[in-house]
């Protein structure tokens, strides 16, 4: 029952957080559209919030080639980050940002639906190492990612098999370990706990002496 309650709590948290992000990113997209129509001039107030939501949705930055005249018939060209230019009314950047808003909305919507999808949770548990590697931001195109994914997934599956076949033994081991830790902790703290409490609780010095004589650590 505790595991079920914890699982339902995780499901509710995933759904509600993505629901909140979904409605918020839609509102910010409306603000940005108004900014492009020159109906709003305070879009910089929401810059960090927008970029933070893009990051939560794993929306990747896009570098756009830009050329600028600097005088004397000279032109400077380079690739400019869309995130660094946000908010911008320049067409090449604004169109890209609008697409990013839509992508983020789609991600948060999918995450909400995944909250109630049993196959999502099964896949998450079976391939947990893959999900963890993706969560910490390691690119799936890197060779180290592929090696770690195979290695950690193999170890994870072996641990799962051991838990299934040796569940009673593991339960006994964990219970004994917890009990031993608790006994060691009690042995460490008990010599100090009684005298300290006796000093504050015993106002009569004769009673304190009697308590001390009765206590033999």
pLDDT in tens, 188-204: 655 544 444 444 444 44
- Within 13 Å and on the Cβ side, how many CA atoms surround 122? 3
Q: How confident is the model at residue 217 (pLDDT cuts 50, 70, 90)?
A: very low
Name the region of 28 (left: φ>0; alpha: ψ -120 to 50; beta: rest).
alpha
- pTM score, two decimals? 0.66
Question: Tens digit of pLDDT for each residue in 146-204?
Answer: 777 778 777 877 877 777 777 677 677 777 777 877 777 766 655 544 444 444 444 44
pLDDT of residue 211: 43
50 pLDDT exceeds 70?
A: yes
Residue 19 predicted with pLDDT over 50: yes
CA atoms within 13 A on the CB side of 133: 20
If pLDDT is split at 50, 70 and 90, which confidence band does 207 have?
very low
**What pLDDT shows up at residue 36?**
95
The pair phi, psi for residue 165, each rounded to 5°, is -85, -25
Residue % of the chain over a pLDDT of 90:
42
DSSP state of 61: P
Whether pLDDT at 91 is above 50: yes
pLDDT (mean) for 2-6: 82
The answer to whether 109 and 95 have CB atoms below 8 angstroms apart is no
Angle, vertex CA 106, rays to CA 124 and CA 41, nearest 5: 135
Cα gap 104→22, rounded to integer Å: 8
> Residue 190's pLDDT is what?
55
Q: Could you tell me what percentage of the chain is helix, strand and coil, using 3-state DSSP and rounding each to the nearest 5? A: 75, 10, 20
Q: What is the pLDDT of residue 124?
A: 81
Alpha carbon distance 211, 203 (integer Å): 12
In this prediction, residue 60 carries a pLDDT of 92
Question: For residue 203, which phi and psi values (nearest 5 degrees)?
Answer: -80, -30
pLDDT above 80 for 49: yes
Q: Which tops the pLDDT comparison, 102 or 160? A: 102
pLDDT at position 97, please? 96
End-to-end CA distance of the chain: 41
The domain segmentation of the chain, as residue ranges, is 2-117, 167-214
CA 189 from centroid of its chain's CA atoms: 36
């Amino acid at each position: 029952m505790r595991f079920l309650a914890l699982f339902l709590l995780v499901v509710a948290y995933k759904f509600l957080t993505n629901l909140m992000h979904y409605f918020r990113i839609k509102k910010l997209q409306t603000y940005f559209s108004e900014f492009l129509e020159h109906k709003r001039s305070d879009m910089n107030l929401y810059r960090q919030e927008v970029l933070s939501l893009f990051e939560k949705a794993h929306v990747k930055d896009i570098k756009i080639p830009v050329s600028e005249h600097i005088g004397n018939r000279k032109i400077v060209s380079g690739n400019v980050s869309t995130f660094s230019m946000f908010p911008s009314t320049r067409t090449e950047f604004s169109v890209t940002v609008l697409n990013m808003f839509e992508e983020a909305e789609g991600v948060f919507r999918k995450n909400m639906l995944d909250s109630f999808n049993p196959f999502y949770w099964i896949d998450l548990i079976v391939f947990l190492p893959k999900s963890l590697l993706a969560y910490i931001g390691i690119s799936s195109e890197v060779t180290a990612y592929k090696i770690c994914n195979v290695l950690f997934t193999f170890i994870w599956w072996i641990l799962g098999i051991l838990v299934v076949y040796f569940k009673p033994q593991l339960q006994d081991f964990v219970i004994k370990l917890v009990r031993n830790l608790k006994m060691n902790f009690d042995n460490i703290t008990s010599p100090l706990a009684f005298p300290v409490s006796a000093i504050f609780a015993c106002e009569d010095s004769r009673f304190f002496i009697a308590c001390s004589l009765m206590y033999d650590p």
